Amino acid sequence: METEKVKCLIVGSGPAGYTAAIYTARANLKPVLYQGMQPGGLLTMTSEIENFPGYPAGITGFDIMEDFKKQAERFGTDIRMGVVTSCDLSERPYKVVIDGNTTIETETLIICTGASAKMLGIPDEMKYAGKGVSACATCDGFFYRKRSVAVVGGGDSACEEALYLAGLAGKVYLIVRKDRLRASQIMQDRVLGNEKIEVLFNTNTVGLFGENVLEGAHLVRNMGQPNEEKFDIAIDGFFLAIGHNPNSKVFQHYLPVDDYGFIKTLWGTTKTDIPGVFAAGDVADPNYRQAITAAASGCIAAIEAERYLNIIEVK
């Protein structure tokens, strides 16, 4: 197996990964960045971004990630295709295997592998991705002002998304598979008391439809029961709020994670339990999952990696 030694390895290419690359490259750490399964990260699935500073006219998720990438390359980041398939973080230099055939030995490791939105598993989700289907109301809700949208889920996150969208959209459907909400009581009260939100209990989404963009959803109430009822709703936006899966599995043998798989870091930093190993962006963020917060944590990880290298080189 081919082996290569580097000072700084970054895995993941979303806002956190590229920002970490920009800062480490400018610090002359000669970072190597592997883009992972989705170059540019989850943000590339967002049709237009209007809340990232510096883009007053808005920009697509793909284009902003291309800008991040070009800036990282400008300062000398070695950007490569590849996915982490295994690792050994038991001692420094840390060993990370890419695509099962290349071992990178690194003095510092910045993990920016992100999180993947949980999907319902219906084929139409991908068909309308960026054309009405979204996993982030804060990112995309603005585009549905005074229009009809639906949110899928019954927990606190789904209720938060529905309430946020109710401040923008004309009509919000909250599609709940069970006969009750799982959210905290205060969130339930807020949702049920909001005249813009209609909660559809005991309802499953079985399909989406539309000519070129999303126009509606096929629903089934009381699925599999004698009183099963099929019906459609007209919507312009369909928001998934059934959770996220952090892409942390390959590192979990060495790094502690929370109950949902998010990598635990020392509060206020990107430091993990292993010196020289840092986690930034959505893989370590169960709360915000925004491009701006991911980029900020990438910056922090880069600065902390540089400081760590300065300490061990002095020793």
- What type of residue sits at position 236? D
CA–CA separation, 307 vs 305, rounded Å?
A: 5
CA–CA separation, 115 vs 118, rounded Å?
A: 9
CA–CA separation, 34 vs 164, rounded Å?
A: 35
CA–CA separation, 290 vs 166, rounded Å?
A: 20
List the structure tokens of 282.
């959505």
Could you tell me if 141 and 165 are in contact, meaning their C-beta atoms sit under 8 angstroms apart? yes
Could you tell me if 166 and 74 are in contact, meaning their C-beta atoms sit under 8 angstroms apart? no
Task: Return the number of other C-beta atoms located less than 10 Å from residue 87's C-beta.
Answer: 22
DSSP string, 42-95: GGGG-S-B-SSTT-TT-B-HHHHHHHHHHHHHHTT-EEE---EEEEE-SSSSEE
The residues annotated as belonging to the active site are 136, 139-140
Q: In sequence order, what are the beta bridge partners of 5?
A: 105
Q: How many residues does the chain have?
A: 315
Closest CA to 107 of 287, 301, 277, 283: 277
Q: Which residue has the tokens 């610090």?
A: 27
**Before 93, cis peptide (omega within 30)?**
yes
Backbone torsions φ then ψ of 149, nearest 5 degrees:
-135, 165
Could you tell me if 200 and 221 are in contact, meaning their C-beta atoms sit under 8 angstroms apart? yes
